[in-house]
Structures are given as structure tokens and as C-alpha cells.
């Protein structure tokens, strides 16, 4: 009734639940705005029309951690900012991922001193590190595509 | 030296026994911390120094006497004259009276000096840290404060450093 006329002769696709879920997760991975320094400029550029990160399913940056799946830490994290970063990470719903964008977020970069966290991996678990000072938008997009490859390899038994 | 500036400098240095230093047209008065408030009050009230540009400090460690110089830059907005006052302080936990009652904007400058150098301003209404977290220990801009340098990771010492680094825990 009706459904045949609307769907046409498209046949049947079989797949596994794992692949469908991972496919949907990678193609609607909304990043959270976490611009802290000059890397944020490159992150904005990656979102804007020249590079257009939303081609890959990252529709829009969410200002709220409740609506986001991916935290892009763009810039150096000071010791005063670290508890805030951790709190925002804790407020994100599972599943969640973290990309450390740039040298400062990855390892402290040139700021090897008392005031700056020597790598954001001291407070949150990081999935992908993007090198560069700051990384170009292509590098950020490549980092997120790498994360997508990682997410596609996740297994049903490890989700819970 | 400008005539109006000369009048203020001679008036203040005569009354408070301040040493006058001049370097490339910039005039500095060295006033003892006991008299700094009276000198600032006189400059604001009797001369037209109505704007406090900055309060900052220099640490001359390892010198102990004086170890710190608290520095005030004040501006006469009608004649565009800038005057600098320095006040030497001894020892590790010095105190100086606050200038907050003369210029209210000294509040935040003095909080910053307290935060970075640990100089207590007596009579200050809100003596908290302004930049560093409240529970921070030590005063970062002191010369004897450690930089907090962490060793750089290479392939030969990666394991050793990773063992010492803090690691995040997932909350359940």
C-alpha cells in the first residue's frame, strides 16, 4: 500500500546494527565551541565557507555541552581554566570524544611554565591530537576524519 | 622640567623628604612607605594629579633591603603631566597603605600586585587574588618563584615522564 509507490524499487539493504550506529554517530558529530586562543580562529575558518566542515556532518558548533558530542579544545588551557574544562566535559552526554587541537592543547606547546596545563590530557581523555601552531583548517578536518575512522571501528560490546 | 611639574616635585620632595630622580625627561620621586599616602593625597588635592594610571611593583631579589619597589604612575589630565612615585619595601612579606581611598581604581591594581608579588595593602577593602585561582600558593612574579618547567618528552624518556604525569579518570 503506498509505501511501494513512494519508495520505488530500491531493494533491500542489509547491514549490522553496529555499522548503522557508528555511521549515524560519525555523520552527526556536533562539536562544542571551546575556542581558547589563536587555534579558535582556525577552527572558525574550518567551519566557514572556504573549508566548510559541515560537509562531514558537523552541522554547527554548539555553545551548550548538553547538545554536543565532540569537544575541540582549541588553544592553551591555563590552570584556572582546567576545572571549567573538566566540568564542561562532564556535562556532555555519552558518547563523547575530545580532540586536542594544536600544540598547546596537546602538550603545552611553547608555554612550558607554571600557569599553563602541559597538555589537556591531564584533565580529560583525548582521542585525537592535531599538531600545528596553529594547525591549518585542513589539519583540523583531517584530525576529525581520523576520529571518524576511530569511531567506525568501535564495537557494540564496548559501548556499555 | 616643565614648570608645573617642577612646582609639584619641589613641593612634595621638600615636605616628605623624597629623593628626586630624573631620567630622559621622566621624573621619579622616591618616597618612604610611611609617607606615600600623604604624598599621593597631596598630589591629588593640592596639585591636579587626578588620574592614577598604574600601580605596579619591581622585585629586586636577591636584594633584601629594599627588596620591592611599589611604583605609582599618576597623571595630570589638564596639563598632560606624568609623575612616577616609587616606594621601597623591605623583606619577604611587606605591607604598604592602600591608595584606594585616594583613587578608587587602585583597588584592582593593588589586588594584582598582591596576587603577583604578595605585597599586602593595609586598609584595602577586598584583598583577594585577581588573576590566579584563589587557592593558589605563592606569588608568581617574584624572582624566587619557580617557573614550573616540565621536562620535554622525547622517545628516550617518554615512558618515564608519562609515569609522572597526571591522568584523567572517567566519572561513573
**Domain extents in chain B:** 3-164
Residue with more model confidence, A156 or A5: A156
B37-57 pLDDT, tens digit per residue, is 999 999 999 988 999 999 999
* C-alpha span between B116 and B140 (Å, rounded): 5
Query: Are A79 and B133 a contacting pair at CB < 8 A?
Result: yes
pLDDT tens readout for residues B127-147 = 899 988 888 888 989 998 888
Q: For residues A134 and A143, what is the distance between their CA atoms, to the nearest angstrom?
A: 13
pLDDT above 60 (res A57): yes
- The mean pLDDT value for A59-64 works out to 81
Distance from CA of A86 to the nearest CA of B (A): 9
pLDDT of residue B86: 93
CB A86 within 8 A of CB A35: no
Provide the 8-state DSSP code for A35: B
Averaged pLDDT for residues A77-102: 90
pLDDT at residue number B116: 92
Max distance between CA atoms of chain B, in angstroms, equals 73
What fold does the segment set A31-49+62-153 form as a domain?
Rossmann fold (3.40.50)
Contact B168 A124 (CB under 8 A): yes
With CA atoms as reference, the chain A residue closest to B151 would be: A112
Q: Residue A124: closest CA among chain B residues belongs to which residue?
A: B168
Does residue A160 have a pLDDT over 80?
Answer: no
Write down the mean pLDDT value for chain B. 89
The pLDDT-based confidence of A4 (bands split at 50, 70, 90) is: low
- Flag whether residue A107 sits within 8 Å of chain B, measured between CB atoms: yes
Q: Which CATH number describes the domain made up of B3-164?
A: 3.30.460.80
Chain B residues with at least one Cβ partner in A under 8 Å: 132-133, 140, 145-150, 152-153, 165-168, 170-171
Q: CB–CB of A114 and B150 under 8 A?
A: no
- Which pTM was predicted? 0.78
Contact B165 A118 (CB under 8 A): yes
Report chain B residues whose CB lies below 8 A from the CB of A113: 147-149
The mean pLDDT of B102-126, rounded to a whole number, is 92
d(CA A15, CA B25): 82
Bridge partners of B95, per DSSP, are: B120
What is the pLDDT averaged over residues A137-142?
Answer: 91
Please tell me chain B's helix, strand, coil percentages from 3-state DSSP, rounded to the nearest 5.
25, 25, 50
What is the average per-residue pLDDT within A69-76? 90
Question: What is the chain B residue with the closest CA to A123?
Answer: B168
Per 3-state DSSP, chain A is made up of helix, strand and coil in percentages (nearest 5) of 45, 10, 45
Are B134 and A80 a contacting pair, CB within 8 Å? Answer: no
Residue from B128, B131, B133, B153 whose CB has the most chain A CBs within 10 Å, to mutate: B133
Reading the block at residue B32, the C-alpha cell is 618612604
Task: Tell me how close the Cα of A80 comes to any Cα of chain B, in angstroms.
Answer: 6
d(CA A107, CA A121): 8
Q: Where are the beta strands (DSSP E) in B7-161?
A: 19-23, 26-30, 51-59, 68-76, 81-89, 95-97, 120-122
- The alpha carbon dihedral of A7, A8, A12, A18 has a sign of negative
Amino acid at each position: 500500500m503506498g509505501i511501494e509507490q513512494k519508495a520505488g524499487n530500491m531493494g533491500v539493504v542489509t547491514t549490522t546494527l553496529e555499522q548503522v550506529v557508528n555511521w549515524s554517530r560519525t555523520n552527526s558529530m556536533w562539536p562544542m565551541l571551546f575556542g581558547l586562543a589563536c587555534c579558535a580562529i582556525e577552527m572558525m575558518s574550518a567551519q566557514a565557507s572556504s573549508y566548510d566542515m559541515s560537509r562531514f556532518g558537523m552541522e554547527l558548533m554548539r555553545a551548550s555541552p548538553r547538545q554536543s558530542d565532540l569537544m575541540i579544545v582549541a588553544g592553551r588551557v591555563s590552570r584556572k581554566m582546567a576545572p571549567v574544562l573538566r566540568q564542561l566535559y562532564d556535562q556532555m552526554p555519552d558518547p563523547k570524544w575530545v580532540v586536542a587541537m594544536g600544540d598547546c592543547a596537546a602538550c603545552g606547546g611553547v608555554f612550558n611554565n607554571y600557569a599553563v596545563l602541559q597538555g589537556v590530557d591531564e584533565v580529560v581523555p583525548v582521542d585525537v591530537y592535531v599538531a600545528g601552531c596553529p594547525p591549518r583548517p585542513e589539519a583540523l578536518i583531517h584530525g576529525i576524519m581520523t576520529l571518524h575512522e576511530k569511531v567506525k571501528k568501535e564495537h557494540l560490546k564496548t559501548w556499555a | 622640567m616643565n614648570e608645573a611639574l617642577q612646582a609639584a616635585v619641589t613641593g612634595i620632595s621638600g615636605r616628605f623628604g623624597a629623593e628626586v630622580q630624573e631620567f630622559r625627561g621622566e621624573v621619579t620621586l622616591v618616597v618612604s612607605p610611611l609617607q606615600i599616602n600623604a604624598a599621593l593625597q597631596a598630589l591629588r588635592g593640592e596639585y591636579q594629579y587626578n588620574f592614577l594610571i598604574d600601580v605596579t611593583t619591581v622585585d629586586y631579589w636577591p636584594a633584601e633591603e629594599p627588596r620591592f619597589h611599589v611604583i605609582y604612575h599618576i597623571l595630570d589630565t589638564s596639563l598632560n603631566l606624568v609623575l612616577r612615585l616609587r616606594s621601597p619595601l623591605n623583606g619577604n612579606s611587606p605591607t604598604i597603605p592602600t591608595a584606594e581611598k585616594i583613587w578608587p581604581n587602585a583597588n584592582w591594581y593593588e589586588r594584582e600586585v598582591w596576587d603577583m608579588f604578595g605585597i599586602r595593602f593595609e586598609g584595602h577593602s577586598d584583598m583577594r587574588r585577581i588573576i590566579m585561582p584563589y587557592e593558589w600558593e605563592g606569588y608568581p612574579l617574584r624572582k624566587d618563584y619557580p617557573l614550573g618547567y616540565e621536562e620535554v618528552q622525547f622517545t628516550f624518556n617518554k615512558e618515564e615522564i608519562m609515569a609522572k604525569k597526571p591522568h584523567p579518570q572517567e566519572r561513573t
